[in-house]
Amino acid sequence: MSKPSDLVQGTLDLLILKILALQPLHGWALSQRLKQISGEVLQVSDGSLYPALHKLEQQGWIHAEWKPTENNRRAKFYSLTRLGRRHLEKEAANWERISTAISSVMRLTEV
Amino acid sequence: MRIEQWVYTIPLRLRSLFHRNRLSAELEDELRDHIDRQIEHNLARGMGAEEARLAARRAFGNAAAVREQTHDTWSWSGIELLLSDLRFGARTLVRTSGFASIAILVMALGIGANVALFAIVRSVLLNPLPYADPDRLVRLYERISVGGLNIPDGATAGGMYTEWKEHNQTLADMAIAGSTDYNLSSAGKQLPEVVHGGNLSWNMLPLLGVRPVLGRNFTADDDKPSANPTVLLSWGLWKRRFGGDPAVVNTTILLDAVPHTVIGVMPPNSRLPSISTPTMQLWTPIFEAKRGDLMEMLDEHEFRAIGRLKPGVTEAQAVADLTLITRRIHENHLDDSYVAFAANSRPLLDSTVGRMKTPLYALLAATGCVLLIACLNVANLLVARAAARRREQAIRAALGGSKLRLLRQHLMESLLICVAGGALGFFLAASVLRWFVAVRHDVPRVDSIAVDGLVAAFTLGLVVLCAAFAGAISSLSMRGDQALQALRESSRGQTAGAARTRLRSILLSIEVGLTIVLLIGAGLLLKSYAQLRSTDLGCLTDNILKMDLSLPTARYKGTSSVANFFSSFVDRVRNLPGIQAAGLVNPGVPGDGQGSNDNFTIIEHPPLPPGQSNIANNRWCDAGYFAALGIPLLQGRSFSSNQRPGHSTEIIISESFARQFFPGENPIGKHMTTFNQTGSEIVGIVGDTRIDPGEAPHPMMYFPIFAAPDMIHSSTLVIRSGNDVTQFAVPVQRLLASMDRTLAVSEVLTMDQVLGRNTLEASFDATLLMVFAGLSLLLAAVGLFGVLSYIVAQRMAEIGIRIALGARRAHILRLTLVDGLRPALFGLLLGLAASAGSVKLIQSMLFETRPFDPAVFVAVSATLLVVAALACAMPAWRASRLDPMQALRTE
């Protein structure tokens, strides 16, 4: 099984942080949101979300907590920490800068 | 990672360290929850139950992989993996405990020997002297040229020291040290004893930056001939004889019956190298203790001068400065060739321990070889193991086990062996060091050797180095292993590729080569030691006992009282029942290395040109000395009984003296003038004796001891008996006590002990190297045996087929033997080539043995070939006895 490339991996982290910044979610809900937002562009299996979530948790950017959900079930909810928010801002700005640069290069037309 | 982040994640990290099981359980819950929710979602979208479940699993992907990858993101997962590898390695080693214990033991010996030698080399050779600014301290020597003999590092004469000290421009200060033996007696009930004492000029301790631990140092006023006698006790004497009582300061002790005021106690001798020996018990001020005229003489080279260079002055500038002074004095004393003509110096550290450099570094090199052999041995065993586990490894690799992981497990085993060996070796080294300190009193600074943090760190470093080395070499054998090939080869009917054993053969060749180097070094030292022990001293050595005694000058004033005491003492010793002969001599017996020399003129010969003189060694002895030691009287007679104080008319010379100074003449009846006797007649010629077992006999002249000048207050008694001479030590001491209660004897030794003491270093080096070499030989033999056994086992089927097809057994035997002996032969050539270089390094340690001694080289080569043949014989013989039917069936 081949691992996703660094770019995709980093992008996945960024997407997770961004989604969690809006509201705390559990794993499955997060995967649904991811599919919803990105459509068919990001082809990742549901499972590959979990190594990413656990890594972000170990880095202190997100916080995990078991909480009750509908009809007496429990789920592990992930929320953004203060550190994670700061990291997201930095990374988002970074992404902005790089994507702007790349898009402007791509916009160059042949003369 | 930033600090804030660290702090924040600490609880999480601790949790992932201590609650791994709960973490795993939670992950299971989380993943199950995800799939459950997906199934519900799918059901809600109208799928059938089975379809919904399968779709959820499909969307989730490989659950096992997700689990593993998530595990990997947790902290400490690296350590977890490491621990599991460690457990695996330990289990493997325990299962093959024979292999493990041999490898660990060999490693322990290798590491232990190196750690011990490192501690010795560091403490003895490398550590700076424990003095203030030790780099500026120099030992000063006189250059003397006398009787054709050139002495570059002669001891300093008292007169020269005074001149140097007064006129030099380059030294911040200069001090002088000597030594004296004292009869120590104190008012209490304690027995008198002879103690070895030092003499220091008052400025020696300030110059070195040392202070007494108790009381005060000598003052300039203490250090004068007219001063009240004072003494500084050594730490050891203070503890031993005075019970460590601080009240001893300002009390009085008797040294040679003269009351001395104790002014202080020195630090332990281990902190006073260069001015003390381990046996030194006390110090007195040198100008008070030594005779005034001796301290003024320019030609009595008795003392050690130590200087401190002025800032910015080099050693060479100081030597040039002192040489200028020395030359001026030399030109005023051209008639006395014992007066130095120039000065010389060496750094104080070098002068204190320099002579130990070659032997210690040679031993260090030898232990390095042993460690290398131990590493190669472990590597070899690991390669063998890897070969045996090839199939397992291939299967694991085929099933997706990562190469790195396999390699790491391999290294882990080598690390475990080295760590266990290192721990064992460390304790081994500690006990070896204790033993070394106890045995080798002759090594300077030996009592400062200690096992400390740095030695422990060195052990750790060696362990890591060895583990990496052994692991790296053995993992070479795993390189490029193709799984398919490995599986095919290990199946029936195939013979393993020859490349498999090539690495082991190369390792063995190196091992054999190193063994040869060690064996040759050991052989040369052993031969040299045998030469040393078998040199003919020129006298009897069986059943002869010697002991030193000295009379206090305060109570035995004048030459006659000394002579009367000694002569009546030796007469009464002779009358003790069982004693066959007894004699007196000064300064020492043959083989103990003590000597002094003097110049002389022969009256019947034409005078020598000015500036030239004859010199020879001298001894004082009584008429019975030659008979007691069995030194043959070749011509003439011994001293007559009329040689008494004030009447010294006879002299006896040695055979080589006669040969050198009276070629073609009969010396008997000729007359000589020496510094203490004018016109003495040569009455006898005796056989040559050696002062030092490692040196050729020097020309020697004997003076009658009972007519000796005032300065001789001590002498050595030698007694001979028919059997077990040591039983007479006590009766003789009792006899001495009955004549003077305050006297004690010292250095009570048999001639064998005297010789043993003076050949201790040679015997130590040779024995140690022999042990190392023997060990290496054993390891090499075990290695050869192992490799050949392996080859035979691998080729069982092939040999079986050969025999079945009619190959003769003798042919098989020869074939296998050649296979096994090839690495041994390569190693032999390698070792002989390396030895050509290594023997030059130990050349200076050899006595009457050439570095390329053919006997040693031939014996070593033959030994190795015989041992190698024996090691190979068993597997080869087994190969030739193979039953073809059985061989083909067993696979």
Q: What is the mean pLDDT of residues B528-537?
A: 81
Nearest by CB to residue A58, choosing from B12, B29, B61, is B12
The number of C-beta contacts closer than 8 angstroms across A and B is: 76
Instruction: Pick the more confident residue, B852 or B598.
Output: B852
Give yes or no for residue B890 having a pLDDT over 80.
no
Give yes or no for residue A2 having a pLDDT over 50.
no
Whether residue B719 contacts residue B745, with contact meaning beta carbons closer than 8 Å, is answered with no
Sign of CA dihedral B697, B699, B705, B709: negative
Residue B286 identity (one-letter amino acid)? I
Q: What is the mean pLDDT of residues B593-622?
A: 79
Question: How many CB atoms lie under 10 A from the CB of residue B12?
Answer: 18
What is the share, in percent, of chain B residues with pLDDT greater than 90?
Answer: 18
Q: How far is CA A33 from CA A15, A39, B248, B351, B608, in A?
A: 10, 10, 93, 84, 118
- Side by side, which strands form the sheet with A25-26? A25-26, A73-80, A62-69
Q: What is the mean pLDDT of residues B535-548?
A: 84
Q: What is the pLDDT of residue B492?
A: 47
Pull the structure tokens for residue B860.
């070593």
Q: Looking at beta carbons, which residues of chain B come within 8 Å of A47?
A: 31, 60-63, 65-66
User: What tens digit of pLDDT does each residue of B57-111 get?
Assistant: 888 888 888 888 888 777 666 777 778 778 887 887 787 777 778 788 888 988 9
CB contact under 8 A, A26 and B33: yes
Pull the structure tokens for residue A97.
């800068």
CB contact under 8 A, B60 and A51: no
Q: What is the pLDDT of residue B11?
A: 76
User: What tens digit of pLDDT does each residue of A41-70 get?
Assistant: 666 778 888 888 888 888 888 988 888 887
Q: Looking at beta carbons, which residues of chain B come within 8 Å of A48?
A: 61, 66, 69
In B, minimum Cα distance to A50 occurs at B70
Q: Looking at beta carbons, which residues of chain A come within 8 Å of B5?
A: 59-60, 83
Q: What is the pLDDT of residue B549?
A: 86
Nearest by CB to residue A48, choosing from B8, B27, B66, is B66
Give yes or no for residue A3 having a pLDDT over 60.
no
For residue A50, the distance in angstroms to the closest alpha carbon of chain B comes to: 6
CA distance A29 to A1: 25
Give residues with Cβ within 8 angstroms of B561, minimum separation 6. none
Instruction: Enter the pTM of the model.
Output: 0.71
For residue B78, the distance in angstroms to the closest alpha carbon of chain A comes to: 14
Q: What is the pLDDT of residue A5?
A: 43
Instruction: Pick the more confident residue, B247 or B884.
Output: B247
CA distance B156 to B298: 9
Q: What is the pLDDT of residue B306?
A: 94
- The confidence band for B567, taking pLDDT boundaries of 50, 70 and 90, is confident
Q: What is the mean pLDDT of residues B538-555?
A: 83
CB contact under 8 A, B8 and A60: yes
User: What tens digit of pLDDT does each residue of B319-352 get?
Assistant: 999 999 999 999 888 877 788 889 999 999 988 8
CA distance B508 to B535: 40
CB contact under 8 A, A31 and B34: yes
What is the share, in percent, of chain B residues with pLDDT greater than 70?
Answer: 94
Q: What is the mean pLDDT of residues B299-308?
A: 89
Burial annotation B651-670 (CB, 10 A radius, 16+ → b, else e): bbbbbbbbeebbeeeebbeb
Nearest of B398, B397, B412 to residue B474 by alpha carbon? B412
Q: How far is CA B885 from CA B463, B794, B809, in A?
A: 48, 16, 15
Give yes or no for residue B676 having a pLDDT over 80.
no
In B, minimum Cα distance to A73 occurs at B33
CA B235 and chain centroid, separation: 26
Give yes or no for residue B318 having a pLDDT over 90.
yes
Whether residue B288 contacts residue B230, with contact meaning beta carbons closer than 8 Å, is answered with yes
Alpha helices in B535-687 (DSSP H): 559-574, 625-629, 655-661
User: What tens digit of pLDDT does each residue of B345-378 get?
Assistant: 999 998 888 888 888 888 888 888 888 888 888 8
For an interface test with B, give the residue of A16, A45, A56, A86 to mutate (most B CBs within 10 A): A45
Nearest of B481, B482, B480, B474 to residue B503 by alpha carbon? B474
CA geometry: angle B559, B619, B302, nearest 5 deg: 85
CA distance B857 to B561: 60
For an interface test with A, give the residue of B38, B67, B73 to mutate (most A CBs within 10 A): B73
Q: What is the pLDDT of residue B187?
A: 63
CA distance B713 to B552: 7
For residue B25, the distance in angstroms to the closest alpha carbon of chain A comes to: 13
The A-side interface with B (CB below 8 A) comprises: 1, 26-28, 31-32, 45-48, 50-51, 54-55, 57-60, 66, 73-76, 81, 83
In B, minimum Cα distance to A47 occurs at B60
Strands, E, within B193-255: which ranges? 193-200, 214-215, 230-233, 252-255
Q: What is the pLDDT of residue B610?
A: 63
For residue B7, the distance in angstroms to the closest alpha carbon of chain A comes to: 9
B60 touches chain A (CB under 8 A): yes
B347: β partners: B138
Longest CA pairwise span in chain B (Å)? 140
Q: What is the mean pLDDT of residues B746-763?
A: 82
Q: Which residue has the tokens 């001893």?
A: B248
CB contact under 8 A, B63 and A47: yes
DSSP per-residue letters across B795-852:
THHHHHHHHHTT--HHHHHHHHHHHHHHHHHHHHHHHHHHHHHHHHHTGGG-SS--TT
> What value of ipTM does the predicted structure carry?
0.87
Calculate the average pLDDT of chain B. Answer: 84
Instruction: Pick the more confident residue, B171 or B791.
Output: B171
CB contact under 8 A, B30 and A1: no
CB contact under 8 A, B5 and A73: no
CB contact under 8 A, B70 and A50: yes
Pull the structure tokens for residue B844.
């200076």
Q: What is the mean pLDDT of residues B487-493?
A: 53
Q: What is the pLDDT of residue B377?
A: 81
Sign of CA dihedral B533, B534, B537, B539: positive
B72 touches chain A (CB under 8 A): yes
DSSP per-residue letters across B80-141:
HHHHHHHHHHHHHHHHTHHHHHHHHHHHHHHHHHHHHHHHHIIIIIISPPSSSSGGGEEEEE
Q: What is the pLDDT of residue B321?
A: 93
Residue B60 identity (one-letter amino acid)? F
CB contact under 8 A, A50 and B30: yes
Nearest of B757, B746, B741, B751 to residue B547 by alpha carbon? B746
CB contact under 8 A, B75 and A58: yes
Angle between helices B403-439 and B453-476 (to 10 degrees): 140
Q: Looking at beta carbons, which residues of chain B come within 8 Å of A50?
A: 27, 30-31, 34, 66, 69-70
Residue B17 identity (one-letter amino acid)? L
CA distance A73 to B33: 9
For residue B209, the distance in angstroms to the closest alpha carbon of chain A comes to: 58
User: B850, exposed or middle or buried, with CB in 10 Å at 0-12, 13-18, 19+?
Assistant: middle
Q: What is the pLDDT of residue B347?
A: 93
CB contact under 8 A, A45 and B26: no
User: What tens digit of pLDDT does each residue of B697-717 get?
Assistant: 888 889 888 877 766 778 888
Q: What is the pLDDT of residue A6?
A: 46
CB contact under 8 A, B31 and A47: yes
Quick check: bond before B632 cis, omega within 30? no
Q: What is the pLDDT of residue B473?
A: 79
Instruction: Pick the more confident residue, B536 or B121.
Output: B121
CA geometry: angle B601, B156, B181, nearest 5 deg: 90
Give yes or no for residue B381 having a pLDDT over 80.
no
Instruction: Pick the more confident residue, B608 or B214.
Output: B214
CB contact under 8 A, B33 and A75: yes
CB contact under 8 A, A58 and B66: no
